[in-house]
Amino acid sequence: MKNTNVMALLNAALAALLLAGCAKTEPKSVVRLATTTSVRDTGLLDALNETFQADGRYTLQAIAVGSGQAMQLGRTGEADILWVHSPDDEKKFVEEGYGVERTTFLHNDFVILGPEADPAKVKGSKKVADAFRKIAAAKALFVSRADQSGTHKKELKVWDAAKVKPAKEYYLEAGQGMAGTLSIAEEKKAYVLADRSTYLSMAKNLKLVIVSEGDDLLINRYSLILANPAKFPKVNAPGARAYFDFVLSRPAKELIEKFGVEKYGQQLFFYDYAVK
């Protein structure tokens, strides 16, 4: 009979655990943000979150994916608010009625990274299109995000500007986030387009160096977009508005402008929205 007791006890313990797993009450207002990996991987998201969640009224549920996937979440009404960096797609997104009040508020830039040895002799190219042409001419390895993210879209624009179509023998499509793609480029000693902020946050683990930077084409603009509550009645519109207002406020501006100076030795994101 002792064994029956053990079995019953075990069952009871497991049942209790199951209940404990489910009993956690949902916070009052969960705001679902669809954003890009660069915002998470640099730590900016966490830094902002501390302040945003401080009063206990909101919990931010940030899904960090590529901008393409973030907008896909917006198209099905899964996200309350978007923080993305793919201007052409954003405009289309708003035109199609999925989002409202698109506000461009932040920028930094993209850089071309490559191995120190620079087999394609890209260093010194002022125009990023020239850099890409040299990479293609030398058939040097290039790793693409290939995930419809803002960075990927920018890369495709640069190939367009360079008027080259990369051949698959030297063009690797990673299908991963920025960090994963950078790791592949690092191991393969390949060239890669990266946002400066993710590069800096990973620089201590990378041997890749910046081989081209500063072209106007490489500006990286981030925008906030609210999900259209008229189209998606289930979105948390007040919560999304609260996050929107918070990011476009003075405390957030000050936090963003200071962000990275201590840890990476330079400012990672440049705030260009005129806060009231």
User: Which residues form the interface with other proteins (CB under 8 A)?
Assistant: 2-4, 6-7, 10-11, 14-15, 17-18, 20-22, 24, 26, 30, 32, 40-41, 46, 59, 61-64, 76-78, 176-177, 179-180, 182-183, 186, 201-202, 205-206, 232, 234-235
**Distance of closest approach, residue 38 Cβ to other proteins, in angstroms:** 12
Pick the closest to residue 236 from 244, 227, 249, 245 (CA basis): 227
CA 189 to chain CA centroid, Å, is 23
For residue 207, the minimal CB distance to other proteins (Å) is 10
Comparing CB distances to other proteins, the nearer of 1 and 274 is 1
How far apart are CB 61 and other proteins at their closest, in Å?
A: 5
* Cα–Cα distance for residue pair 205/192, rounded to 1 Å: 16
Phi and psi at 222, nearest 5°, equal -105, 140
Query: First and final CA of the chain: distance in angstroms?
Result: 74
CB 139 to other proteins: min, Å: 27
Separation CA 152–CA 67 (nearest Å): 9
Pick 62 or 224: Cβ nearer other proteins: 62
Residue type present at position 4: T
Shortest reach from residue 134's CB to other proteins, in Å: 27
- CB nearer other proteins, residue 161 or residue 175: 175
Sign for the CA dihedral angle at 148, 163, 94, 51 comes to positive
DSSP state of 96: T
Comparing CB distances to other proteins, the nearer of 42 and 125 is 42
The residue (of 89 and 186) whose beta carbon lies closer to other proteins is: 186
